[in-house]
A and B are shown apart, each in its own frame.
Chain A
Amino acid sequence: MNTAVTVLLAEDNEDDLFLTQRVLRKAGIGPVFHAADGREAKQYLEGVGEYADRASYPLPEVVLLDLKMPEFTGHEVLEWVRAQPALSGLRVYVLTSSDEGRDRERVEKAGVQGYYVKPLTPEQVAEIFG
């Protein structure tokens, strides 16, 4: 497994944040940066404000994206990402609390590398970073 990967984890729920960070830490994946809602995730990826400093906030290779977030939902962030030519190499994995058909359809239409129901298991981490 390639563990030296820059990850942006967009997650507003503290419990899910704790569990996802834990499973990534256990697998030795990192560095992991965190965005607390959809707007922050978008600003991070755009390099707006403090995120302009790419030495401190490097552009991630992988985004782990929660769907139900305030400000911008994960759907909105994903659809925005897919419209940015500069981010075309970004791998996006959706983490959701429920396997809803319509969520999956919308996400697949936008284009993602994977879709997981939380909490992420060590096996799924191996799948993403393997």
Chain B
Amino acid sequence: MSEPLEAANENRVLVVAPLGADARNIGEVLLRAGCEVSVCPDVEKAASEMALGCGVMLLTEEAMLSAKDSALPQELERQPTWSDLPLVLITHGGRSDRAGERAATLLGDRANLTLIERPLRATTLVAAIKTALRARTRQYEIRDLIADREELLASLEQRVTERTAKLQLMVEELEAFSYSVSHDLRAPLRVLDGYAQALVEDYGESLEPGAKELLNRISRTAHRMDRLTQDLLAYTRVSRGELTLEPVDLAGMVRAVIEQYPSLVASRQFIRVRMPMGVVRGHVPSLIQCFSNLLENALKFVREGEAPRIEIYAETFGDRVRVTVEDHGVGIDPAHQRRIFGMFERASAHKHVPGTGIGLAIVKKAAERMGGTTGVLSEPGRGARFWVELARAELDDPEER
């Protein structure tokens, strides 16, 4: 409600003159000059009118007598930062200095005061008021700029809030999705496998060997599908979510990987960890995901009739550490080396080796999420060296791990 009022009054001149004749004269002069004028009998009234909009306040020295206990000094003090209301004080001739000083004491330092001496000339008065109004217009322009900027800031803030809420929702939906993939997609596979095994156990005696083999194939397929779902889940997990990077002791991490994975524990005699390994900036679950996949791969792709022979070691290049898993297995054709890090890509020569084609995609994604890179060096028949390169770090506290 106050805004349109303020806009309507914002260029008016508030004339504060206790003497009726004075007020009338001044008012007429200003009206003739095209000004909007409101006359107030005392400073108290002027103070309350000021809040409704005012371009200039014109006071006579008589009016100042009642200023001391009025609300005007407070009103002036209370102006918004953009506002500095011009005050024009009409003084008695030859007493301007004292009148000015008194006005300053009465109205406070915030007063933007101009003095005009009597006898009053219409031209001087009009010129002083017009100048003050022009200055006031500038103040309004600044006010509008500030308002625009605040509106813009508010809308930006609003947009950021909305975006954040939307992102949060997406993350929650993804969480719910992967939870339901994990539960609902895998449950029927386990049941399928359960039924196939129940058949073998309960009716195995009366089944022909061919029938039993078919049941085993059903079981194996269910297992493969289960593994695929698990890998897809692992991939979505390394693709999203917050990763907090911290200094990780590589030797401890590799030990944890080997101990956590049954397939790796069973083959640990084939894995040689070359010390020392050092410390990188990484995320432990993602690192475990990377190196369990690389080690499992290395164990799988052996040359026929040979035992696996795997080495894992770290090399420092400046501020980077490259961790390599080296095998002496079948190796990879250069034509496939780039592709094998893609989703569902498998080197066609090894279709007989079980796998989902997601393992190396997980390694690549996990390395990228940790600000690292990954790659492979290999020659067919001469093994492969898969590496993950990460930022070098120092352990803050050796007791921590």
Please report A residues at the B interface, Cβ cutoff 8 Å. Answer: 13, 15-16, 19, 22, 68, 96-98, 100, 117-119
Contact = CB atoms under 8 A, between A and B. Distances in A.
Interface in B155-210: 179, 182-184, 186-188, 190-191, 193-195, 198
B182 A100 contact: yes
Nearest to B191: A15
Given A100-B179, A100-B182, A19 B194 contact: yes
Given A100-B179, A100-B182, 16 more contacts: A13-B187, A13-B191, A15-B188, A19-B191, A19-B198, A22-B198, A68-B183, A96-B183, A97-B184, A97-B186, A97-B187, A98-B182, A98-B187, A100-B183, A117-B190, A119-B194
A15 B187 CA distance: 10
A20 B115 CA distance: 100
A80 to B, nearest CB: 22
Interface in B267-289: none
Nearest to B189: A97
Q: Is the interface of B mostly helix, strand, loop or mixed?
A: helix
Contacts of B194: 15, 19, 118-119
A119 B179 CA distance: 19
A70 to B, nearest CB: 14
Contacts, number: 35
A22 B188 CA distance: 17
Interface of B: 179, 182-184, 186-188, 190-191, 193-195, 198
User: Closest 4 CB pairs between A and B?
Assistant: A97-B187, A119-B194, A15-B191, A98-B182
A67 to B, nearest CB: 8
B42 to A, nearest CB: 74
A107 to B, nearest CB: 14
Contacts of B183: 68, 96-98, 100
A39 B179 CA distance: 23
13 contacts: A13-B187, A15-B195, A16-B191, A19-B195, A68-B183, A97-B183, A97-B186, A97-B187, A98-B182, A98-B186, A100-B183, A118-B187, A119-B193
Nearest to A98: B182
A118 B190 contact: yes
Contact of B191 (A96, A100, A119): A119
A97 B198 contact: no
Contacts of A19: 191, 194-195, 198
Given A19-B195, A19-B198, A22-B198, A119 B190 contact: yes
Nearest to A99: B182
Nearest to B237: A101
A56 B198 CA distance: 30
Contacts of B193: 119
Contacts of A100: 179, 182-183
B313 to A, nearest CB: 31
A96 B182 CA distance: 11
A15 B190 CA distance: 10
A23 B268 CA distance: 34
A119 to B, nearest CB: 4
Contacts of A119: 190-191, 193-194
A74 B32 CA distance: 88
A15 B192 CA distance: 9
Contacts of B186: 97-98
A115 B226 CA distance: 19
B374 to A, nearest CB: 25
Nearest to B193: A119
A22 to B, nearest CB: 6
A16 B190 CA distance: 9
Q: Which of B182, B184, B188, B191 has the most CB of A within 10 A?
A: B191
B233 to A, nearest CB: 9
Contacts of A97: 183-184, 186-187, 190
Nearest to A96: B183
B189 to A, nearest CB: 9
Contacts of A22: 198
Contacts of B179: 100
A68 B185 CA distance: 13
A23 B198 CA distance: 9
Nearest to B179: A100
A21 B248 CA distance: 46
